[in-house]
Amino acid sequence: MSDFSLLIDGKRVKGDLTMPILNPATEEVLAQCPRASEAQLNAAVAAAKAAFPAWSATPLAERRTHINKMADVIEANAAELARLLTSEQGKPLADATGEVLGMAGFFRYLGSLDLPMKVIEDSDGRRVEAHRRPLGVVGCIIPWNYPLLILGFKLPPALLAGNTVVVKPAPTTPLSTLRFAELVADVLPRGVLNVIADANDLGDVLTRHPDVRKISFTGSTATGQKVMASAAQTLKRITLELGGNDAGIVLDDVDPKKVAPGIFEGAFQNSGQVCLAIKRLYVHEKVYDELCDELVALANNAVVDDGLKQGTKLGPLQNKMQYEKVKGFLDDARKNGTIAAGGAAMDRPGYFIQPTIVRDIKEGSRLVDEEQFGPVLPLIKYSEADDAVRRANATTYGLGASVWSSDTDRAWKIASQIEAGTVWINKHLDMAPHIPFGGSKQSGIGTEFAEEGLAEFTQLQIINAAR
């Protein structure tokens, strides 16, 4: 494993401190990672602030060229980045490769967008124009479940809009981000992109820093609340993509054999470590038993192993803290439901949990009421569709949801009643850079992707001239 460095002001910099990064499949030390001090974070912000005037004055077409060159670098180094990603995050190598190539795709699409001036009025009395101006220094805080892909959600629009950036990856998955930064360091002018790593001790310093104008954060709702409170001190702009307890509603007219694979993938992708994964499944009593049997078969047949081994379907959980948390959900499931598949940690090194299906469980249990963020899916029986919608909405979360039915019109009517930022019909986790994405209620503030997401990295300026 090669040496890693922070990227500050265009230079590779050793951390003032170091920290070990573990391979979650073996619990062995993968590498020693540079860890930034508060002084180094301040230096990164200062570098971004100094680079802002020239970068913001760079024509948008030229900024787009830089972003496309970064996509070229990502694709040229996809194999290396994917293997490093699997080693530190745990997901199967094929999924890691898909993540890296998806990152490049987000760079290309989001970098292709425009920020046109809009004429609001052009009359004898006045001309009114709406312009989108860059904000300044943007802090991007990235979670550990999709370290590179989520960076691809944030970095291209921030740069395209003319902002400079300080990136802080999650403390347990910093290596692939640091390697990416090293690879693209010469693509951008110095100071435009800065990447530091911490041990969960610099987030508050970044979010309250007076020279940071916006925070784009993806993570848990609890941490998002802290980010919002800290950012409020300087009235920073914020985009928060937070936790979810996404409901799937399966109607009585489905073919269980047909829908089960899509539901399983929507719940267990990345070992359930997806903010938008199906985390509770409401199933009509007419198809409940049969669908449960289909999902049990899929869970029992899924290959759980080191992500670097060929044929692995599900890797380990990413870190020990999440591993222990999910084991607590399994304890709850045994008390409040019936475990139909899985139900235990695997007796081997690494943070492995058997893919678990839980039936005969209801609201009031932790597994249904809270976000498990792991490979455990509860199936809740219902009789009336209106009741399923009411129960699906009875949560503080509102990130995503899905409706499964052989009658699309019927599903569409139910989807329109669900309180969530994204509702899918007969699929789940279908995301693309041209489709806006954001949560409702306590699942987030603001929008990512598409023109709407790009606008969030800008300040709207109105110029109103007399005629």
Tokens 């101006």 correspond to 133
Do residues 434 and 107 lie in contact, with contact meaning Cβ atoms separated by under 8 Å? no
Question: In the Cβ-directed half-sphere of 33, how many Cα atoms lie within 13 Å?
Answer: 28
Do residues 226 and 386 lie in contact, with contact meaning Cβ atoms separated by under 8 Å? no
Q: How far apart are CA 145 and CA 172, in angstroms?
A: 10
Q: Where are the alpha helices (DSSP H) in 19-92?
A: 38-57, 60-76, 78-89
Tokens 């989520």 correspond to 150
Q: How far apart are CA 447 and CA 458, in angstroms?
A: 13
Q: Which two tokens stand for residue 41?
A: 């974070």
CA separation, residue 249 to residues 58, 252, 391 (Å): 49, 10, 10
Element (H, E) at 224: helix 221-231
Q: How far apart are CA 223 and CA 287, in angstroms?
A: 38
Q: How far apart are CA 19 and CA 39, in angstroms?
A: 17
Q: How far apart are CA 23 and CA 28, in angstroms?
A: 6
Catalytic, out of 241, 294, 370, 371:
241
Q: How far apart are CA 440 and CA 419, in angstroms?
A: 7
Do residues 283 and 295 lie in contact, with contact meaning Cβ atoms separated by under 8 Å? no
Is 294 a catalytic site residue? no
Do residues 68 and 108 lie in contact, with contact meaning Cβ atoms separated by under 8 Å? yes
Q: Which of 60, 228, 89, 227 is nearest to 151 (CA)?
A: 89
Do residues 251 and 385 lie in contact, with contact meaning Cβ atoms separated by under 8 Å? yes
Phi, psi of 273, deg, nearest 5 = -90, 65
Do residues 353 and 271 lie in contact, with contact meaning Cβ atoms separated by under 8 Å? yes
Q: How far apart are CA 224 and CA 227, in angstroms?
A: 5
DSSP notation for 346-371? -SSSSS-B--EEEES--BTBHHHHS-
**For the chain, first and last CA: distance in Å?**
65
Catalytic, out of 275, 292, 370, 371:
275
Q: How far apart are CA 364 and CA 77, in angstroms?
A: 47
Is 140 a catalytic site residue? no
Tokens 């002084």 correspond to 39
Looking at the annotation, which residues are catalytic?
241, 275
